[in-house]
């Protein structure tokens, strides 16, 4: 298991203004990023974009990966601290930072201003956060994104989905019902008004209205899937669909897999629901960590199988990265066995991939040496 210091497991919360809107940051790991932090997991949430919902997921992903894991809230969605207004009204209205387009620009602005240039990124999107990540890749192709993991992705036909048909009238036509309590509050005595405003309404009503405003735009604007952006970034994208997700039904999964047969698409077989952060944060973090490592290993191994000579140096460099997070020798063993296997005539990496990967994952977690069983697999 990757060792993470106890105090490093505690979250760090910050509030900043970004694009004129109060923004909450939740950070596990280095804050600020140090010169040694070359890789950052950045979570782009769903709607409501409250980063506190992702605490369990992020904590476990940080523990498993040993990397900094940050989340950035949507503009105007979080409970504000004392002394913060939710928005700088002039800037927010000018740029519509609370709308779908504005929220995308809000995330790009955050990266420009708060993440050091050269930091490699693993973007983790949830729900509408997946749509935002695709837009970020489209608008700034120079982002150093290694992987983008899209969990329960609402990237197309939202209003036509089963849940969208129910929620579209509410989100598009009834947003201002969120302000009804403000009117009712005005009918109460002054002392009661002051108490309720202090305890509840100033924190709850504006974020709720902002969430509904964003939801209404989602129904109107998330229509056709952005196939061009997906095609350009297919090697970076990992999609994870729910088997019983009313926001992105299984038909959407089958459609996108048919259109991109070379893509990395997975249909959940563990019963996770769309709002996985409420009860399956730990399990999804384990899946994301495993999927990220698995995908990286697949790339290296498939490249080595086709161009072994030119890639051995790169593989040795990759082994050094593995060795940093594993007990000494484990990373070297993996590369040595890979090199040895490449010399075998007529044997494809895929023939032994599953068994090797299972053993590699086991020893990665436990910091032990490879099992005799796997050694025998190679040597027989």
Q: What CATH number is given to the structural domain containing 99?
A: 3.40.50.1820
Give the DSSP H or E segment for 198. Answer: none
- Bridge partners of 151? 126, 240
State the first-to-last Cα distance of the chain, in angstroms, to the nearest integer: 30
pLDDT in tens, 147-196: 999 999 999 999 899 888 887 766 665 555 555 554 555 555 656 545 54
Answer yes or no: is 78 within a domain: yes
* Residue 226 within a domain: yes
pLDDT of residue 312: 46
Choosing from 269, 294, 319, the residue where a domain stops is 294
- Please tell me the distance from the alpha carbon of residue 209 to that of residue 205, in angstroms, as a whole number: 6
Q: Are residues 42 and 161 in the same domain?
A: yes
**pLDDT attached to residue 201:** 40
272 and 312 inside one domain: no
344 and 374 in a single domain? The answer is yes
Taking 90 as the threshold, does the pLDDT of residue 293 lie above it? no
236 lies in a domain?
yes
Residue 97 or 313, more confident? 97
- For residue 176, what pLDDT is reported? 53
Instruction: Please indicate, yes or no, if residue 271 is contained in any of the structural domains.
Output: yes
37 is catalytic: no
| pLDDT: which is higher, 322 or 53 | 53
Structure confidence at residue 117 (pLDDT)? 85
Q: Provide the pLDDT for residue 131.
A: 98
Query: Are both 223 and 367 inside the same structural domain?
Result: no
Q: Clarify whether residues 288 and 265 are in a common domain.
A: yes
Q: Does residue 274 lie within any of the structural domains?
A: yes
Residue 208 lies in a domain: no
Q: Are residues 281 and 322 in the same domain?
A: no
Catalytic, 90? Answer no
Tens-digit pLDDT profile for residues 258-280: 999 999 999 998 999 999 999 99
On whether both 127 and 269 belong to a single domain, the answer is yes
Among candidate residues 269, 229, 242, the one with its CA nearest the CA of residue 152: 242
Instruction: State the average pLDDT for the chain.
Output: 74
Mean pLDDT of 8-21: 83
Residue where a domain terminates, one of 260, 294, 328: 294
In this structure, are 57 and 106 located in the same domain? yes
What mean pLDDT do residues 313-320 have?
46
The residues near 211 (Cβ < 8 Å, ≥ 6 apart) are 47, 48, 49, 74, 77
Mean pLDDT of 322-347: 44
According to the model, what pLDDT value does residue 11 have? Answer: 86
Q: Label residues 79-90 b or e (16+ Cβ within 10 Å = b).
A: bbeeeeebbeee
Q: Phi and psi for 66 in degrees, rounded to 5? A: 70, 15
Instruction: Report residue 15: phi and psi, to 5°.
Output: -125, 130
Does residue 243 register a pLDDT over 80?
yes
336 has pLDDT over 50: no
Same domain as 353, residue 290:
no
Which one of 77, 106, 274, 318 is the catalytic residue?
Answer: 274
- 195, 243 contact by CB (below 8 A): no
**Residue 332 or residue 66, greater confidence:** 66
Q: What is the structure's pLDDT at 77? A: 86
pLDDT at 163: 86
* The one catalytic residue among 73, 126, 245, 264: 245
Active-site residue (options: 127, 161, 211, 330): 127
CB 146 within 8 A of CB 119: no
Same domain? 262 vs 159: yes
Measured distance CA(297)–CA(145) in Å, rounded = 17
- Domain hosting 259: range is 6-167+219-294
Instruction: Pick the last residue of a domain from 268, 294, 320.
Output: 294
User: Does residue 328 share a domain with residue 262?
Assistant: no
Same domain for 27 and 152, yes or no, is yes
Q: Say if residue 374's pLDDT is above 70.
A: no
Active site residue 127: yes
Domain tally for the chain? 2
Give the least confident one: 50-59, 116-125, 206-215, 227-236: 206-215
Length of the chain: 380
Residue 295 pLDDT = 55
Average pLDDT over residues 49-59: 95
Per-residue pLDDT band for 56 (boundaries 50, 70, 90) equals very high
What is the average pLDDT across 335-343?
47
Domain annotation covers residue 205: no
Contact predicate 59/9, CB 8 Å: yes
In-domain check, residue 128: yes
Q: Phi/psi of residue 214, each to 5°?
A: -65, -40
Mean pLDDT value across residues 278-284: 92
């Amino acid at each position: 298991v990757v060792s993470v210091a106890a105090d490093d497991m505690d979250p760090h919360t910050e509030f900043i203004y970004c694009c004129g809107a109060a923004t909450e940051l939740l950070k596990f790991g280095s804050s600020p990023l140090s010169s040694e932090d070359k890789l950052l997991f950045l979570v782009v949430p769903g709607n409501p974009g409250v980063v506190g919902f992702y605490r369990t997921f992020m904590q476990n992903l940080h523990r498993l990966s040993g990397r900094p894991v940050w989340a950035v809230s949507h503009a105007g969605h979080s409970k504000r601290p004392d002394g913060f207004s939710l928005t700088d009204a002039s800037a927010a209205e000018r740029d519509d930072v609370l709308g779908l387009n504005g929220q995308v620009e809000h995330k790009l602005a955050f990266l420009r201003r708060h993440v050091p240039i050269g930091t490699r990124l693993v973007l983790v999107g949830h729900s509408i956060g997946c749509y935002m990540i695709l837009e970020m890749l489209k608008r700034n192709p120079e982002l150093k994104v290694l992987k983008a993991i899209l969990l329960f992705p609402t990237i197309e036909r939202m209003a036509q989905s089963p849940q969208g048909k129910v929620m579209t009238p509410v989100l598009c036509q009834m947003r201002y019902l969120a302000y009804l309590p403000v009117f009712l509050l005005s009918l109460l005595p002054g002392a009661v008004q002051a108490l309720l405003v202090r305890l509840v309404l100033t924190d709850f009503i504006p974020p709720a209205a902002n969430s509904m405003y964003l939801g209404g735009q989602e129904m109107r604007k998330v229509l056709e899937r952005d196939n061009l952006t997906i095609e350009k970034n297919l090697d970076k994208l990992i999609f994870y669909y729910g088997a019983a997700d009313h926001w992105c039904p299984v038909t959407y999964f089958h459609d996108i897999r048919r259109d991109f047969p070379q893509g990395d698409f997975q249909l959940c077989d563990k019963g996770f629901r769309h709002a996985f952060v409420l009860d399956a944060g730990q399990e999804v973090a384990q899946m994301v960590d495993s999927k990220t490592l698995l995908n990286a290993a697949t790339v290296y191994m498939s490249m080595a199988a086709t161009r072994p000579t030119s890639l051995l140096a790169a593989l040795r460099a990759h082994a050094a990265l593995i060795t940093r997070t594993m007990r000494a020798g484990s990373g070297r063993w993996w590369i040595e066995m890979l090199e040895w296997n490449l010399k075998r005539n007529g044997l494809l990496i895929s023939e032994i991939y599953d068994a090797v990967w299972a053993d590699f994952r086991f020893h990665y977690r436990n910091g032990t040496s490879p099992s005799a069983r796997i050694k025998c697999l190679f040597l027989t």
